[in-house]
Amino acid sequence: MKRIAVYPGSFDPPTRGHTDLVQRSLVLADELIVAVSRNSSKEPLFSLPERMEMLRAAIPADPRIRFESFEGLLVEFARKNGATLIIRGLRAVSDFEYEFQMAMMNRHLSSGMETVFLVPPEDATYLSSSLVREVARHGGDVSGLVHPKVAEALRRRFAK
Ligand code: PNS
């Protein structure tokens, strides 16, 4: 049976940590759905279409990977798409509590749903979308942290 995994997130914007995780996930799944959340509690910097476009630009085309957006409960989205695995990145101990609670809640809501945590490359453990936004907002150099198209989108967004 085909194993389908979902990699959910806000991806506002996608970073090198995200794109690395996508590639790593492919050893665990036959098909990977990169699922961009519509209903962020925070006002996103980039619109949903912009985030989808950045992900498509940053992740090399692969027939095993597709990009979707979702609203509402992640487990509902996963179930509708036949996914049984949720992929999340774990960078540091500080991520653990929130991720652990979310994994437990998702399994409570959908009993067959397992969450798999993958760790980013060592030099990306400090990397987060919010830090990238912060650095870019103040004109800092984000090349090397994000795909060049994402860096360009950040430059345009924060251009005076
Ligand atoms: O990149 P993020 O912001 O850490 O991603 C969080 C996300 C979108 C994966 C999470 O908030 C989510 O799954 N939202 C959908 C609503 C839901 O199902 N929440 C989990 C139940 S605890």
pLDDT for 41 equals 72
Ligand 1 centroid distance, CA of 159 (Å): 30
Confidence of residue 73 (pLDDT cuts 50, 70, 90): very high
**Type and span of the H or E element at 131:** helix 129-137
Q: How large a percentage of the chain has pLDDT more than 90?
A: 94
Question: Residues 6-18: what's their mean pLDDT?
Answer: 97
Q: What is the mean pLDDT of the chain?
A: 96
pLDDT for 3 equals 97
For ligand 1, say whether the CB of 89 is within 6 Å of any of its atoms. no
For ligand 1, say whether the CB of 17 is within 6 Å of any of its atoms. no
Ligand 1 centroid distance, CA of 74 (Å): 7
Site to probe by mutation for ligand 1, drawn from 6, 22, 33, 37 as the one with most ligand atoms within 8 Å of Cβ, is 37
Residues with catalytic function: 18, 42, 91, 129
Q: Is residue 75 a contact partner of residue 84, using CB atoms and an 8 Å limit?
A: no
Ligand 1 centroid distance, CA of 8 (Å): 7
The answer to whether residue 40 scores a pLDDT higher than 90 is no
Q: Is residue 32 a contact partner of residue 5, using CB atoms and an 8 Å limit?
A: yes
Q: Which residues contact 11 (CB under 8 A, 6 or more apart)?
A: 18, 34, 36, 51, 54, 55, 129
Question: Residues 40-61: what's their mean pLDDT?
Answer: 93
Question: Residues 70-91: what's their mean pLDDT?
Answer: 97
Residue recorded with tokens 């050893």: 27
pLDDT for 153 equals 98
For ligand 1, say whether the CB of 13 is within 6 Å of any of its atoms. no
Tell me which residue has its CA closest to atom 1 in ligand 1.
9
Tell me which residue has its CA closest to atom 17 in ligand 1.
73
